[in-house]
Structure formats: C-alpha cells, structure tokens
Amino acid sequence: MIRPKPGKPAASEAVERVLIQDVMPYETPDRLGDLQGPAEGQITLPHHVYWGPRAECDLGQPEGVIKAYQAVLREGTRTDQTELLNAELLCSIWPLLMLPVRCRQLWEGKFPHLTQRPEETL
C-alpha cells in the first residue's frame, strides 16, 4: 500500500482551493451617483486596473464598454470607479457584465436597482 507523504493529502482526498476572487477586496463607491466618468469617447485604463495590451476602450462600442467596466469593477479602486465609470451607462449594461460572484453580490447588495430591467424602473 502506498501512503501519501506526511502533510500532503492523498489524491482521493478533496482539497479545498481558495481562489483570488474569493478573497479579493472589491470596492464600491458610496453612492451610484458618484460615478461621474465619461459616457462616450475613448478611455485608457490604468495599468493597475488592466495590465494587458490595448488598455484603450471605445465607449461607443459595446465591447469597449464591457471590457472597461468589467476591469474597473473587478480591479479598480473607489477613485478609479468614480473617475472612469458612468452611473447611467453602468445601469444599462449591468446584465451583460461577467463578474465574479462576490463582486456582483457586493454591487447588487449595495445598489439593488442594478438588478431591475429598464422597464421596471419607469
């Protein structure tokens, strides 16, 4: 019989993994109205928010908005969020954003109207 080395679990033992998204300290603004970023044009994401190539995002294109907003919501500080995100634009694209569960829960818990469809807010 082969026994695992001391301190190492056997292959059949489940090992609980901790993912960065499970412990990452996501930030939010105090109020959704604090998000005064541009609603159109080009923005360049700071390196600490988006470290890949092509950090420029065209807010006139859906893929540009999604790329920018996902990065800023996941990685941005409260200051980044208030400078780069626009509250109206965020509300309109919220359902399209792919975010870590904890990040989405934090934002929706603080701003429940993000989960409402536009016709529900009229």
Mean pLDDT across 50-72:
95
pLDDT at 14 over 90: no
69, 96 contact by CB (below 8 A)? no
Mean pLDDT across 79-95:
97
Q: What angle do CA 45, 50, 52 make, to 5 degrees?
A: 115
- Which helix (H) or strand (E) is 108 found in, with range? helix 101-110
68, 45 contact by CB (below 8 A)? yes
Q: Is 35 exposed, middle or buried (0-12, 13-18, 19+ CB in 10 A)?
A: buried
Mean pLDDT across 85-107:
96
Q: Rg of the Cα trace of the chain?
A: 19
Q: How confident is the model at residue 76 (pLDDT cuts 50, 70, 90)?
A: very high
